A and B are shown apart, each in its own frame.
Chain A
Amino acid sequence: MSEDYREMWQSLGLDLAGHDALLGVLGGAYQDIFLSQKNRPAGMAYFDFVMSEVHGLRIRELLDEKKAGRKIIGSYCVFVPEEIVLAANATLVGLCSGADFAMSEVEKLLPRNTCALIKSSFGFKLGKVCPYLESADMIVGENTCDGKKKAYESLGHLVDNLYVMDLPQVKSDHGRALLKSEYLRFKTEVENLTGVAITPESLREAIQTVNKKRAAIHRLSALRKADPAPISGLDALLANQVFFYDNPARFTDSVNKICDELETRVAEKNGVFPAKAPRILISGCPMAVPNWKLPFVIETSGAVIVGEESCVGERGTRNLTAESGNSVSEMMDAIVDRYYQVDCAIFTPNPDRLNHIREMAAAYHADGVIHYGLQFCQPYLMESIPVEKALEEKNIPTLRIETDYSMEDMGQLKTRIEAFVEQLR
């Protein structure tokens, strides 16, 4: 990343020394994990560029949008509807929480046994190293797991633009009504922020924009069903991660371009891994940039990841929003319907998630499932045991991994994953 961004970072109030350190680690990891892969699709060059400019050009674009009067909204969860944000002339960005930062400061505010994702989001704030967070005009928190719910109370003291959305925990008429009223409240809040009233036209256009982005990812996912897999799980994960940062239209084009290339690869049986390489489905907690640890270990152990049952993955992107509504109210209902299906582990009971894992394992021809739980993440760790049991009853080998962002357990992780891959051969 070039030097001319320093002024921009400074103006955002970033801690330049800390930020340099973060970018240094990020760049090194990217080199080792992504650029060292063999036979990558040429279209990945776009994502390499995006990643190299993730704190540079993309932030400049966002600041330019701001200058032109657009608002930036940051979110921590796939329950925050991008359709509403876009329709009110604002841009939604995901706030990445995939690396430990300023941990000693974080542990002054959060108990040690808080999941790495939450700790990381605090670390990025306290360490002043996230330009997305600092550019945001509004930060949306949401009442999902207990950890996040309570953490937002503390985050509220660190930022002055936090908005907290309530979310249901049970899929019921009440739950749906709550989601709807919260989306309506959010809509008003966003409209107030931007001063732009959402119209049927703007909302329809926003729905279409987001649907296209999702459809592009669906196309990418479908191509991963092929054996040999035409793209590595790491690269596909990266596309799913960039989903949360990039300009939607440009993202859609870039993913579609990769898909054109992958179609040729599939036709030519040209894979990134040899045919018959063990195929793995990952299921569990979201993997935010730059959390590439587990996929890296898996794919350097000779297996290929063919799908992610994750919010940075198919749990987040499946299901389109119906485009048929005529009025804002009809379209808001369609948005509620679409998001209401997200089967996050904070719901109880949550049978849809298990069904989805089974469906995915079959659709992507997975030989085994690795359940990824962040240490201290109650919802997903709790679900991992019945998930494992249910899958094994169907003779789908399953490995439960519980880990965090540190590298301390790399040796053990490698042994467990390699042994699991040996088991699948």
Chain B
Amino acid sequence: MQKRFAGIDIGSRTIELVVVDESGKIVTSLQADTGFDPMTAAKALIHDVPYDRIMATGYGRNLFEISFDTQTVTEIKAHAIGARAFFPDVLALLDIGGQDSKAISLFESGKVKKFEMNDRCAAGTGKFLEIMAKTLGFDIESFGREALLAEKELSISSMCTVFAESEVTSLIAKGKNRREIARGLHTSVIKRAAGMINRVSSDGDIVFTGGVAKNPCMRHFLAETLGRTVLAPEDPQLVGAFGAALLARDIRDIM
């Protein structure tokens, strides 16, 4: 029987589990909300999934390491490995998740060359878009599609979630078009993300991962702003867990 290797990415909003076989093919992938108790959620997720070795990543990796006595890898390296498995030649990566974002540049070999992470607050992350979608009365799944339908954008000056929210509220009160406001909000997140990517990598294709990469408006305008091709894997949220699973496969010392 083939061996199975798992990667678990314990993020602040969601947990992803990916299991690969010896050839690195994904055989199982699951997702759950992190909730208030990440370890219970993680335990539930791996409960019925057979694997020979697991590697943890994401902000909850150290807790998982203690509870399950496994090895860990940072989300930076896990994403780099996962992204390269999807797009073998790519040298730059942008990940925007629930509460953080990061830009990574890679050497040709796939090793991490340089990375940047966002500051402590939620500005420019999935959380920001989520709150703004709610304020505007869109659901998060359709937020990007709606924003893409706007004919122009209304610029939003504040990146701080709290201030941006009141800015949006007052624009709505003035009777402004919700889609145009939505477009403006996307643009402000894109500007920030573009700045981050530009600081680590100046040209070439970019792999876009994390929950926010599912948003078509983000993908479209990110590519337009940067003048670079933006590639997104089919399920961009799995990339970290996938990378961790591949790494679990590749460490031979314990076997």
Interface residues of A in 385-412 (CB under 8 A from B): 392, 397, 408-409, 411-412
B74 touches A419 (CB 8 A): yes
Say yes or no: is A422 at the interface (Cβ < 8 Å to chain B): yes
Sample of 16 more A-B contacts, CB < 8 Å, known A392-B114, A422-B76: A408-B120, A412-B100, A412-B117, A414-B62, A415-B59, A415-B75, A415-B117, A416-B117, A419-B74, A419-B112, A422-B74, A422-B112, A423-B77, A423-B111, A423-B112, A423-B113
A409 touches B120 (CB 8 A): yes
A422 touches B77 (CB 8 A): yes
Contact A419/B115 with A408-B120, A409-B120, A412-B120 known, Cβ cut-off 8 Å: yes
Bound: A124/B111 CA distance, A: 45
Interface size on B, residues (CB 8 A): 15
Bound: A423/B107 CA distance, A: 11
Interface residues of B in 55-75 (CB under 8 A from A): 59, 62, 73-75
Bound: A415/B59 CA distance, A: 8
Interface residues of B in 121-172 (CB under 8 A from A): none
Chain B: minimal CB distance from A30 (Å) = 22
Residues of A within 8 A of B117 (CB): 412, 415-416
Chain A: minimal CB distance from B242 (Å) = 17
Residues of A within 8 A of B74 (CB): 415, 418-419, 422
Bound: A50/B73 CA distance, A: 38
Bound: A411/B115 CA distance, A: 16
Residues of B within 8 A of A415 (CB): 59, 74-76, 117
Chain A: minimal CB distance from B100 (Å) = 8
Residues of B within 8 A of A409 (CB): 120
The answer, among B59, B76, B100, for a CB contact under 8 Å with A419, is: B76
Chain B: minimal CB distance from A32 (Å) = 15
> Would you list 30 pairs from A and B whose C-beta atoms are within 8 A, ordered by A residue?
A392-B114, A397-B114, A408-B120, A409-B120, A411-B59, A412-B100, A412-B117, A412-B120, A414-B62, A415-B59, A415-B74, A415-B75, A415-B76, A415-B117, A416-B115, A416-B117, A418-B74, A419-B74, A419-B76, A419-B77, A419-B112, A419-B115, A422-B73, A422-B76, A422-B77, A422-B112, A423-B77, A423-B111, A423-B112, A423-B113
Bound: A409/B100 CA distance, A: 13
Residues of B within 8 A of A419 (CB): 74-77, 112, 115
Most A CB within 10 A of own CB, among B62, B74, B75, B100? B74
Bound: A422/B244 CA distance, A: 13
Chain A: minimal CB distance from B104 (Å) = 9
Bound: A263/B153 CA distance, A: 68
Bound: A421/B132 CA distance, A: 36
Bound: A414/B76 CA distance, A: 12
Bound: A419/B75 CA distance, A: 8
Bound: A423/B110 CA distance, A: 11
Bound: A291/B149 CA distance, A: 52
Residues of B within 8 A of A414 (CB): 62
Residues of A within 8 A of B111 (CB): 423
Residues of A within 8 A of B112 (CB): 419, 422-423
Interface residues of B in 65-122 (CB under 8 A from A): 73-77, 100, 111-115, 117, 120
